[in-house]
Structure 1
Amino acid sequence: MLDGDEAAVSQHRYDERASQEDFEAYAQWLKGAIMRGSYIGLFAEAQCEIIAGAGLLLLEWGPTRGDSNPIRARVVNVWTRPDWRRRGVATDLVKRLLARAEIIGIQAIGLDSTPMSKALYRSLGFEQYLAEMIRRTR
């Protein structure tokens, strides 16, 4: 990804209902994550326009039983322009990110899926896992 691509990713991540504050905060964080190397992002283009994107967030998780690598990954920001859906574009991007994760020795990769994307992720070897819990202080 290039400098400035964080705005495009943020536009894909947030719809028009998102606040400008959320959009700007994410774009600023993403710029730093790209510079630190903790975010790997890919775009697909057609006719000089972005038609799809996907990212891999590298997380310092710590070694766990059976996995001595302290880094885990999370697939994030998978987006395809509506007129390009169901053509395998997002699948190709995610496969490329998974290959990159394998090269750097990451064994555990998570993601959150929508009902529409579950079949895609199952075809790539992802399995349903227990639901996550979260605590917010505000």
Structure 2
Amino acid sequence: MRVRQATLADIPALVALRMALFVELGEALGGQEEALHQASVDYFSRAMAEGRLISWVAEDEEAAGGLLAVGSLTLFERPPYPGNLAGREAYLLNMYTRPAWRKWGLASQLLDAMTAYADQRGLGKLWLHASDTGRPIYERAGFVGHPGYLEREPG
């Protein structure tokens, strides 16, 4: 088992795992599967090339079926604020492990790689939205919940 940073060559597999994540979470794709798939390929291609998105993958060269798990960080900069004078942050997303490979510690290994990257780069904040099943993994890694978040849907 090996965890590594993804490359541009991994984009088809990254997007396939992202689409599987949406299906598993019960996200209503509303017949937009093809458009969402292509928009995701376009985004990953552009954002990875620009260094705004960094993904990590878990793979086993002896296992059939390609990548086993994935996790990504979207990097961005906000105005400085107390506790983060550089304003550098990352949003953790796209954490997904193929069902047959769950309970092998892959998500924890990916999370360790991503938090190490964030620490080495001096990112002042690393945040995410967690599913109920994923939440314990993040809490074990030191993430804590914050109730002050609001969201507005467009339209």
State the TM-score, normalizing by the size of structure 2: 0.81
Structure 1 residues 114 and 28, CA gap change in structure 2 (3 angstroms): same
**How far does residue 137 in structure 1 lie from its aligned partner after superposition?**
3.4
**How far does residue 5 in structure 1 lie from its aligned partner after superposition?**
2.1
Structure 1 segments, 4+ long, off by >3 Å, are: 15-18
Q: In 2, are the aligned partners of 1:54 and 1:76 still within 8 Å (CA)?
A: yes
- Which residues of 2 match residues 1-138 of structure 1 at below 5 A? 1-15=6-20, 18=29, 19=32, 20-46=34-60, 47=62, 49-130=66-147, 132-138=149-155
What count of residue pairs does the alignment treat as equivalent?
138
Work out the CA distance in 1 between the residues paired with 2:105 and 2:154: 40
Instruction: Please list the CA deviations of residues 18-44 of structure 1 after superposition, one character each: whole Å capped at 9, or x if unmatched.
Output: 321112112201111101111111111
Deviates more, 1:89-98 or 1:123-132: 123-132
Secondary structure of 1:50's aligned partner? coil
Q: CA RMSD in A?
A: 1.7
Q: In 1, are the aligned partners of 2:83 and 2:124 still within 8 Å (CA)?
A: no
Secondary structure of 1:116's aligned partner? coil
Work out the CA distance in 2 between the residues paired with 1:86 and 1:65: 38
State the TM-score, normalizing by the size of structure 1: 0.90
Q: In 2, are the aligned partners of 1:6 and 1:28 still within 8 Å (CA)?
A: no
Secondary structure of 1:43's aligned partner? strand
Secondary structure of 2:67's aligned partner? strand
**How far does residue 45 in structure 1 lie from its aligned partner after superposition?**
0.8
Q: In 2, are the aligned partners of 1:51 and 1:84 still within 8 Å (CA)?
A: yes
User: Runs of 5+ in structure 2 lacking a partner?
Assistant: 1-5
Work out the CA distance in 2 between the residues paired with 1:4 and 1:134: 34
| % identical aligned pairs | 24
